[in-house]
Copies of this chain bind each other. A is one copy, B any other.
Amino acid sequence: MRAYVDRFSLTDPGDVSALKAAFDSGAVKPERVVAVIGKTPGNGLTNDYTRGYLTQSLALLISDYTGVSRERVTATIPFIFSGGVEGVLSPHYSVFSVDDSGADRVDGEPALALATAFTAPLIAVEIGGQGQIDATRDAVRSAMASAGIERAEDVHFVQVKGPCLTASAISEARRAGAGPVADTPEHSMALSRIASAFGVGLALGEIDATRFHYDSARLDPNCFSSVASCSAGVEVQANEIVVLGNSRRWHGPLRIGHRPMADALDLAAVVGVFEDLGLAPGPQLSDAQSRRLRSVLVKCEPDRTGRIRGEPHTMLNDGDMNAQRHIRAAVGALVAGVCGDTRLFVSGGAEHQGPDGGGLIAAIASVDGEP
């Protein structure tokens, strides 16, 4: 088994000509595509339709090239997009492909390994509730098994995209007396992310399943997963999951690493994750080293105390610019400064995903000198 990761720039979610060209040239094999993760040029909030638009565009393209129906494509390939490319960030998508034609290995150097999973569709009362937690936990375990990753410590990043409720959906669920749901669309997005994160943490043993109570866990900033990266959006009905790790059963030059970020200024964590992969930021990666990067994945969150290292920030009080847009712009630039590259997956809403007020960073790089 061998994994490939190819990044493509994006300016308009209706224009997927870059991937089309890669299909045409043979650089990417359409039938090997198993997941797409990317950043789209919307606001990353409830009314961000760029995620759904890019999904539709890519599913059409892949359907055209593989002959698989659009419905089947979107039901089997997670298209996980986080909106919001604030500041220096660049809209792009990373295509994850798997070549399973070779014989299985068991004893080589660990290489990038990955698998995907989908939960069943979630109904309103499950979104942000125990139903979503349980379904996520089971799906993550299933994906680990598919990927041949045996140890939880070899999992370095779990991307989850889950559904959330619009204002109308909240209102309808309440009229239907379906059970407790979120107060607002933004609240629903947060609860969906939290439930997904708890599901990942439970699957990997980062959270002690024997002592887990949802309501108290939500109030406990120390209850988190260090590898969960969870998004929510109106364009999906089920949790879509991509598990990324290293495994001796896979081969190729790609490796993944990760670090928790203690706060939004944790430059040491950013530098550290690249050092873990054998790169040497000084403090910025050289052009040659930067070209060895395949994907950089970051979750971040405005500190809820209203302060960073003792000084007030204004992100949570700003009525015109959402706090998630603030923090993505900030942490995105911190990481881009070290990478020398702006094609980063930087996603806000890191509740219970890494340390409170901080978040996490993962990176995939080629260990070969050649990118």
Interface residues of A (CB under 8 A from B): 9, 11-14, 41-50, 52-53, 56-57, 60, 85-92, 166-168, 170-171, 184-186, 234-235, 264-265, 267-268, 270-271, 281, 283-284, 304-309, 311-322, 325-327, 329-334, 336-338, 340-343
Contacts and interface: CB of A to CB of B under 8 A. Distances in A.
Nearest to A41: B314
Contacts of A342: 265, 308-309, 311, 313
Given A86-B329, A168-B305, A186 B319 contact: yes
Contacts of A318: 46-47
9 tightest A-B CB contacts, nearest first: A45-B319, A87-B330, A329-B329, A330-B333, A167-B316, A283-B283, A320-B320, A168-B306, A167-B306
Contacts of A87: 87, 264, 313, 315, 326-327, 329-330, 333
Contact of A168 (B48, B309, B312): B312
A333 B264 contact: yes
Contacts of A46: 317-319
Q: How many copies of this protein are present in the complex? A: 4
Contacts of A56: 14, 53, 56-57
By secondary structure, the A interface counts as loop
A315 B314 CA distance: 20
Given A265-B340, A333-B331, A308 B168 contact: no
Given A167-B305, A311-B343, 18 more contacts: A12-B234, A13-B52, A14-B52, A42-B47, A48-B319, A86-B314, A87-B87, A87-B326, A89-B313, A90-B313, A91-B312, A91-B314, A185-B317, A186-B319, A267-B337, A267-B338, A271-B283, A309-B342
Given A41-B47, A184-B316, A11 B311 contact: no
Contact of A265 (B268, B307, B317, B336): B336
Quick one: which of A87, A167, A281, A315 has the most chain B CB within 10 A? A87
A319 B47 contact: yes
A312 B14 contact: no
Contacts of A186: 319
A166 B41 CA distance: 13
A231 B85 CA distance: 26
Contacts of A41: 47, 49, 314, 317
A319 B46 CA distance: 6
A12 to B, nearest CB: 7
Contacts of A270: 337
A265 to B, nearest CB: 5
